[in-house]
């Protein structure tokens, strides 16, 4: 028995190149590769992913958010209402045989929540607090793409607006990533109204092109395009300066001093007040501002934020305000929300610890008597009733065989039946005896050590 192959460095980084080199005997060369951007997960990876998802979901529940279930597929019309025109190269889509309508794998859950409320709960009390957990699939135009399959856990605060509502969404998100074990991070604040306010008098095509240039932080292209578009000199200078307006509170004053910045000033002052509240909260994080930020998701109208941490190279969590989105679904109301990228969170959290937390798993065997007899089955049931994952091994002929199987199979302990209801517990890593007695006594010993925080015993299931 051999260990499964762990993810490569490329897979760990959340990246999949479009052109894959087919090395001899590689999964791709043998016809066993995955579609671009897709991934599967081994036992330890999926266990950590689910544990993080539960930690984030529990925190959102503590803030009053109730979870809803959303389908993996949506009609393209629903996605387009929420996100605007989405090019066919950016979606995985197909024709629904029964209706002939175009269906797509969801790239974003916020339009789904809007569709859910508009179709099933248009008279919902306000504010409405909902949460979700699931996968989204996003295709990106870059040559070296990040994962297009992303696990998200998010919240939607619908029907509330203002500083306190924005602060609630950010606070719930920060509480969630902290509960998952992330300690060191930065909150990056931006505002969807700044660039749009400055470009309010600019025609649609030029406006869209300038917003795209700003999203790429391309100062020279912003300046040259704005000049060719005939914009006033002061506005050209202000737009070209936006990508540089990143940093602490000092960028607020730098922005106010720019000529032609008056249309965006109310949004900057709003952002400044929000940043002050976030920073002075208990365990307040470091706050930075990015006044030139324009998100690729077009529905943001107000504050935007990202939680940045060492490791992923992209946001661990992000969100913002989108007060115009629900009107597109026939139920106008203010809204804000956020989503935690569970894969990025797992990466960032893993950098803060020396090794993964142990997984409590017990392998039950008996060289003389198989664990399928009555006592063995009762013993397995006793362990499982206490939240201890346990499985039998039928074919071991010796303790050494069982310990080797346990090592390769990620079992932290081996319970050897030594006659009747008697059992001896061995730690797989050291092969040392740690307890003996009846199954009930051994189960109580494991539970006590786990609840006492003994790192060798890990956490109980459930």
What mean pLDDT comes out for the span 341-370? 80
**Taking the CB of residue 127, how many other CB atoms lie within 10 A of it?**
18
- pLDDT for 11 equals 44
In the chain, what are the domains? 43-350 (3.30.930.10), 362-451 (3.40.50.800)
Q: How far apart are CA 195 and CA 224, in angstroms?
A: 17
Q: Are 139 and 90 in contact (CB under 8 A)?
A: yes
Q: What's the pLDDT band for 13 if we cut at 50, 70, 90?
A: very low
- Note the pLDDT of residue 93: 86
Q: Give mean pLDDT, residues 107-111.
A: 93
Q: How far apart are CA 219 and CA 377, in angstroms?
A: 69
pLDDT band at 296 (very low <50, low <70, confident <90, very high): low
* Residues β-bridged to residue 189: 289, 305
Percentage helix, strand, coil for the chain under 3-state DSSP, each rounded to 5: 40, 20, 40
Q: Are strands 362-365 and 390-392 parallel, antiparallel or unpaired?
A: parallel
- Average pLDDT rounded to a whole number, residues 318-334: 95
Pseudo-torsion of CA 32, 37, 41, 44, nearest 10°? 130
Q: What is the dihedral of CA 376, 381, 384, 390, to 10 degrees?
A: 20
Q: Which residue shows structure tokens 């260990």?
A: 3
Please provide the distance, in angstroms rounded to a whole number, between the alpha carbons at the two ends of the chain: 29
Q: Which residue has the tokens 């952002």?
A: 271
Confidence class for position 185, pLDDT limits 50, 70, 90? very high
**Interval 405-458: pLDDT, tens:** 999 888 999 999 877 668 999 999 999 999 999 999 999 999 999 888 888 887
Instruction: Using pLDDT thresholds of 50, 70 and 90, give the confidence band for residue 33.
Output: confident
How many whole angstroms separate alpha carbon 271 and alpha carbon 289? Answer: 8
Q: Which of 44-48, 154-158, 258-262 has the highest mean pLDDT?
A: 154-158
At residue 23 the predicted structure's pLDDT band, cuts being 50, 70 and 90, is low
pLDDT at 371 over 70: no
Residue pair 81/329 in contact (Cβ under 8 Å)? The answer is yes
Structure tokens at 196: 């749009």
Digit-coded pLDDT (tens) for 117-132? 999 999 999 999 999 9
Angle, in degrees to the nearest 10, between helices 110-120 and 76-83: 110
3-state secondary structure of 164: helix
């Amino acid at each position: 028995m051999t260990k499964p192959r762990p993810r490569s460095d490329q897979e760990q980084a959340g990246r999949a190149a479009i052109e894959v080199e087919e090395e001899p005997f590689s999964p791709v060369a043998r016809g066993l590769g995955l579609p671009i951007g897709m991934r599967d997960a081994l036992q330890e990876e999926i266990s950590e992913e689910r544990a993080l998802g539960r930690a984030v979901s529990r925190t959102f529940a503590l803030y009053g958010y109730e979870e809803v279930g959303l389908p993996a597929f949506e009609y393209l019309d629903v996605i387009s209402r929420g996100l605007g025109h989405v090019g066919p190269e950016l979606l995985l889509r197909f024709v629904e045989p029964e209706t002939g309508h175009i269906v797509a794998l969801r790239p974003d859950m916020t339009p789904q929540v809007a569709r859910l409320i508009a179709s099933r709960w248009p008279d919902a009390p306000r504010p409405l607090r909902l949460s979700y957990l699931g996968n989204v699939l996003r295709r990106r135009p870059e040559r070296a793409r990040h994962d297009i399959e992303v696990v998200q856990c998010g919240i939607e605060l619908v029907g509330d607006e203002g500083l306190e509502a924005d602060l609630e969404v950010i606070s719930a998100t920060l509480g969630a990533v902290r509960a998952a074990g992330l300690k060191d991070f930065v909150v990056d604040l931006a505002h969807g109204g700044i660039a749009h306010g400055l470009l309010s008098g600019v025609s649609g095509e030029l406006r869209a092109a300038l917003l795209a240039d700003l999203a790429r932080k391309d100062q020279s292209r912003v300046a040259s395009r704005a000049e060719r578009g005939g914009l006033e000199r002061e506005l050209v200078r202000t737009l070209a300066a936006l990508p540089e307006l990143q940093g602490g509170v000092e960028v607020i004053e730098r922005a106010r001093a720019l000529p032609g910045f008056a249309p965006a000033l109310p949004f900057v002052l709003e952002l400044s007040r929000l940043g002050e509240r976030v920073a002075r909260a208990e365990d307040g994080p470091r706050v930075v501002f990015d006044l030139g930020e324009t998100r690729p998701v077009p529905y943001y109208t107000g504050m935007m934020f990202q939680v940045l941490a060492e490791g992923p190279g992209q946001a661990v969590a992000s969100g913002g305000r989108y007060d115009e989105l629900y009107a597109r679904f026939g139920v106008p109301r203010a809204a804000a929300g956020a989503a935690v990228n569970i894969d990025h969170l797992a990466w960032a959290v893993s950098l803060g610890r020396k090794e993964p937390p142990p997984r409590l798993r017990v392998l039950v065997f008996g060289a003389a008597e198989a664990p399928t007899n009555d006592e063995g089955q009762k013993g397995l049931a006793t362990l499982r009733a206490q939240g201890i994952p346990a499985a039998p091994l039928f074919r071991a002929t010796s303790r050494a065989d069982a310990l080797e199987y346990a090592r390769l199979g990620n079992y932290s302990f081996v319970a050897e039946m030594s006659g009747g209801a008697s059992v001896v517990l061995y730690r797989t890593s050291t092969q040392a005896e740690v307890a003996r007695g009846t199954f009930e006594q051994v189960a109580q010993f494991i539970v006590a050590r786990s609840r006492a925080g003994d790192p060798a015993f890990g956490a109980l299931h459930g």
